[in-house]
Homo-oligomer: A and B are copies of this chain.
Amino acid sequence: MASLEFWYEFGSSYSYPAAMRIDEVAEDKGVEVTWRPFLLGPVLKAQGVTDSPFNLFPVKGRYMVRDLERVCDALGLPFLMPEPFPMNGLYAARLAILGSDQDWTPDFSRAVYLAEFGDGADIADPGTLKAILTGLGLDAEDCAAQIQEPELKDRLKAQTARAQELGIFGAPSFVVGDELFWGNDRLDPALDWALKAG
């Protein structure tokens, strides 16, 4: 079956609409998606970028807010600019790694994005994440304990290192074999590439 890797960072604004629609669009086209949470901060830092480009260049940052309003509106999604931006997605990313073993990563990730960009919730707050986990019928205390394990922390570090090896420099990114696609607006071309390659 044709397949594609979806690389995303919880602080990334354009990862939000991508996360909300990817499974549906991919299923329609018959492409299997693997969710790959990673941390964009260390990847950008290694490339000499010390903050979100939307903060570094305020004119671009203002545009981004308006563009996301339009993009989300077209998808029927609410959009609020998080404060501060970008939010720290470390705990959320560790939980998404944990969920990969138990198949709840996509549901969890969508719930985090919706809380963050739909409701303005603070996703760096463990309480926000616990409420989301509980809402998914999971044992939030147990999950919170598991993401403190060194082995799990190392898995997120390894996945972030892998993102860097793949030449990723932003989120969302889509990987099909050796081909990298960057940005929510490259989801459809990436899926088409997967079908052609698959």
Question: What 1/0 flags go to A155-198 for Cβ under 8 Å of B?
Answer: 00000000000010110000000011111011001000100000
Question: What 1/0 flags go to A95-119 for Cβ under 8 Å of B?
Answer: 0000000000000000000000000
CA–CA, A60 and B40, complex, Å: 14
Total contacting residues, chain A, CB less than 8 A: 26
Partner of A185, one of B58, B60, B185: B185
- Whether a CB of chain B sits under 8 angstroms from the CB of A145 is no
- Whether a CB of chain B sits under 8 angstroms from the CB of A85 is no
* A180 and B66 form a contact (CB under 8 A): yes
**Nearest-neighbor residue (CB-CB) of A167 within chain B:** B59
* Chain A residues within 8 Å of B, Cβ to Cβ: 47-49, 53, 57-60, 62-63, 66-67, 70, 74, 167, 169-170, 179-183, 185-186, 189, 193
* Listed residue (A57, A74, A181, A193) with the most chain B CB atoms within 10 angstroms of its CB: A57
18 pairs of residues in contact across A and B, judged by CB atoms under 8 Å:
A47-B57, A47-B59, A47-B60, A48-B57, A49-B57, A53-B53, A59-B169, A62-B167, A63-B167, A63-B169, A63-B182, A66-B180, A67-B181, A70-B193, A74-B189, A183-B185, A185-B185, A185-B186
